[in-house]
Structures are given as structure tokens and as C-alpha cells.
Amino acid sequence: MSYIALARKWRPKKFSELVGQEHVRRALVNSLTSGRVHHAFLFTGTRGVGKTTIARILAKCLNCEQGITAEPCGECAACREIDAGRFVDLLEVDAASRTKVDDTRELLDNVQYAPTRGRYKVYLIDEVHMLSTHSFNALLKTLEEPPPHVKFLLATTDPQKLPVTVLSRCLQFNLKRLPVSLLAERMRQILEAEGIVFDAAAVQLIAQAADGSVRDALSLLDQLIAFGGGAAREAEARAMLGTVARDHVVRFAEQLAAFDASALMGAARALEEFAPDYAQVLDELAALLARIALKQSIADFAGDDLYAPELLARLAQQLSREDVQLFYQTAILGRRDLALAPDPRTGFEMTLLRMLAFRPGDAPEVRSAAASASPAAEPRAPAPERAAHLPPPGNEAALSWTAILNQLDLTGAARQLASHCVLLGREGGVVRLALDPARPFVSTPAQQEKLAQALSRHFGESVRLEFESIVPDELSPARADEHASLAQLAAARESLESDPGVQALRERFGATLLPDTVRSTK
């Protein structure tokens, strides 16, 4: 028998098997139970979070031979055929390959006819945002006055490309990225059911790499099992993902606690043989520092599968709260600046040294190579409260949008988009932005996705962007820079106008100052 990929084998077949997305499951179950089922549903969200899976489950609920139900039997001919992808009254369409209006008209020609086998004729249109304008117009006519035997299930990763006339005729459900803990729990259940040997840390690493996508998590898990010869081990997971062993990251934290620059540089150079991704090493160091901060603030914080509570408790004693916050901030800023360094290794080493450079005046000296030869010092006592150079993580509501932008790992067009925005507010996982009306062309789906990912990393949780068409009271970072440049230029021109040398040239030779040639040197 041919092997079935885990993502296909373990795809949920009913609502009770869904992982996460409780807000969607509850609404659909209540709708089916009460018999108030809308004629058009729109499921949005990033890849691999369950859009088409939920749509197929809904199609089964509507066509199960046992009747319309929130729990399809899974045994009747309709349920089995939908699971197998051959139910004649479930028409699945990939809009990315059928964008022309003739394709849409051909698809909708048979809408008026009754279902062949089922109770409803269900149209499942994936990546619906890829349809052309004319195709949307053809679809809109049917959405306005649908026959009673037809249901439309639309799925998209980019709902902003859909016309508002289509959006207004659908019930919209936004599927969220799944948290790491939920992904890890699901993978553990699958591995145990499959009888596969695994390390909890390996599962945690895969869950982090999946970035909230169930399908990506199971695909990576399949790859790890093949890479590990039938087992899911931590060492193989790190090798496959290109991550550095956590022992190295812990060693960095210990040497930072001891303020041992020589040992710190030795450990950094020892990484070279692994050809590491230095940005990822800084990510892991920042993640460890965040866990240490949690342990310092929450006594019963239990850690996770990557770092045991005993280790976190020890490091929490060795490091002061102020140092943890400073090291964390330096790590994430250093990661952002790696692209500007002469090479990644130099940027990584300078980031580590920068962590040791800012210390209170009465703190112990940074240990040099000579000092490292002496016996190890006792763990450093917590330092007196230092002046905060940057707000601690979690207080980003206290920062301006410019300050947040300066901390984001963004370059190119995505950074240009962010610089032309103004932060209107953040409510939970939604970040509201106003885009400069004069710069609509800087906003594309790809750049919006990059900005959302960067903000998710910054805030430590998945966020969704909402753009509003208003003129805000404050200036965007780009506008502020433009105004500052104009002010500097005006000051430079005024300075030249009043310069005694320029005045002398005017009086003696009739010289004329050309304002457009003046440039500010600041």
C-alpha cells in the first residue's frame, strides 16, 4: 500500500477533530443545528490553517444522508465520496488556474439545475481572489440571487483583493495561525498514534518552524521522520532545520551572566564549524532570554520542552532582571542589523560584545582573556537598577510607530510600506494602520504579509493588519523624515543667505545664490 502523507492522513473529517479555530467551529455548528445556513461562506487565513478542510466538512454536514447535521456520519455514500474527493455535487475549483470569465460562466452554467446525488450543490472555490474582475461580476449575479439548492464556499489567503460587493454577500470567517503549544500537542498525538519514537524538543522545534500552519507542521514532521530514519529526534530536527544545539545557546547565556568576553568570543567562534544561520542563533538566544524573564517574574513558570524549569531557575538567579531585558533588546536589534554588518559572523560577535558594553558604573569589569585564566567567579549578584535605554518587551504600546519600525526586521519594499503608514491602534491580534493616501502603490499583498510577519515576531503573537482609508493627525515616518529634511534644507539656505562670505561676493561681484543648488549636509 502506498504511503499517505501525514497532512493528508490526519486531515480532520468532522468538526470535533479540528485543531484550534474554535470561533469558526462554534459558529458553523450553531448554524447547522439551528437550520439557519447561509448560502455563501468565505474562509480567509494564511496557508495550511484549515480553510478547505472546514469547507469540505461543511459540505459533508449539508449532504450527509442522515440529514443536515453538525456531526456527519462519515459512513454513508455521500460522506465517503466527499472524503475521497469524488462527490458529483461538490465542485472544487482552483481559481488560480481558472481566472477567465469564460471559465466562471462555464462553471455557473449548471447552477440552476438540481443536485444529482446530494441535498445541495456545493461550489468550493479556492484562492478566489485570483478571479478576474469580469469573473467576479459573473459570480456576483449568482451570489445575489442563488437557487435554494446551491451553497458557495469560498477560500482565500488575500481577502483584501475581493470586491466589497462579494464580501458583503458572504459570511466571513478569519482562520488564525495556530499557537506553538497547540501544534506541538497535535503532533505528539499523531506520533503516538503512529507508534513513532520522538523527542519532545524535536516536536517543539518543528512547531516553532511551522509558523502557525498545521499543514506545514505535518509536512516538516514527515520530512524529519524520513531524515531521522523513522524517528523524530532533536539532533536530527536541528540538523534539518539548520538550528544550533540548545547547549550552545545556554552557554552564551551563562557567559553573559559571568560577563566573560573571552569565553563568549570563544563560544561564538566555535559555532563556525556548524555553518550556522547567525540570525537564527540570535532568535534562539532572545527566546531563551524571554523565558528567563518569565521565570524571574512568574515563580511557577514551568518552562517548556526546550528549556527545563531547573535550567531557567538557575539562569534567572545568575542574571539580573535589568540585564535580561537589555540582552534581549540587544539581541533583537542586532538581528535586525545583521544585513548591515561586514559579514554575519562579525555582526553576531559585535552584538554579543554590545550586550556587555552597557553596564552600571559599579558593575564588575568585563573579564578579558587574562582574567579568564583565573578561577571562575561566583555568579554575579543582581545589579542595581539601571537607567532603561529602551522600554522592556511588552510595553510596545508606549512606543511610537517610528520606534517600532526601527525594531522591525524589515527591508526593501516592505519597509517602505511600513514607513508610509501611521499606527492607529492595536487591539489583541489586530493592528490598525492608516496608509498615506498619496502612496497607495506601496501596498501589495506580498509586502503586507511581510509586514504582518515582522510585527508578529515583534509582539510575540500572530497579528493581522487592517488598513483604514483616513488621513491621520500625525505624520508617517516617511513624511516626518521628509519634513525634517525640508526644515534642514530651509535652515541651510537661510544660513547661506546670512553668511558674511556670501554677502561679500554679492556686494563685490554681483553674485547670485541659486537656492535649488543648496544641499543640507546633516
| pLDDT value of position 519 | 59
Distances from the Cα of 296 to the Cαs of 307, 309, 325, 458, in angstroms?
15, 11, 11, 21
pLDDT of residue 76: 92
Q: Give the sheet arrangement for strand 421-427, strand by strand.
A: 421-427, 430-435, 464-468
| Pairing mode, strands 90-94 and 121-126 | parallel
Count the Cβ atoms, other than its own, within 10 Å of residue 512. 8
Question: Per residue of the chain (522 residues), what is the pLDDT tens digit?
Answer: 578 899 999 999 999 899 888 999 999 999 999 989 999 999 998 888 999 999 999 999 999 999 999 999 989 999 999 999 899 999 988 887 776 777 777 777 788 888 988 899 999 999 899 888 888 888 888 888 888 999 999 999 988 889 898 999 999 999 998 988 899 999 999 999 999 999 988 998 899 888 889 999 999 999 999 988 899 998 888 888 877 777 888 889 999 988 888 888 988 888 887 778 888 899 989 999 999 999 888 878 877 777 878 888 889 988 888 899 999 999 999 998 888 888 899 999 999 999 988 765 445 555 544 444 433 434 443 433 333 333 334 444 735 888 888 888 888 888 889 998 999 888 878 999 998 887 787 888 888 999 999 998 888 888 899 988 777 778 888 888 888 777 777 777 777 777 777 777 667 767 776 766 665 555
Predicted pLDDT at 394: 41
Q: Does an H or E element contain 1, and which?
A: none
Residue 47 is placed in which grid cell? 496557508
Q: E strand or H helix at 80, and its extent?
A: helix 77-84
Query: Is the overall model pTM greater than 0.75, yes or no?
Result: no
Q: What is the pLDDT of residue 330?
A: 92
pLDDT confidence of residue 99:
65
Alpha-carbon distance of 128 to 126, in angstroms, equals 5
Beta strand residue intervals within 104-216, DSSP E: 121-126, 150-156, 171-174
Return d(Cα 275, Cα 155) in angstroms, integer: 41
DSSP conformation letters of 353-419: HHHHH---TTSPPPB-HHHHTSPPPPPPPPPPPPPPSSPPTT-GGGS-HHHHHHHS---HHHHHHHH
Rounded distance between C-alpha atoms, residue 413 and residue 47, angstroms = 22
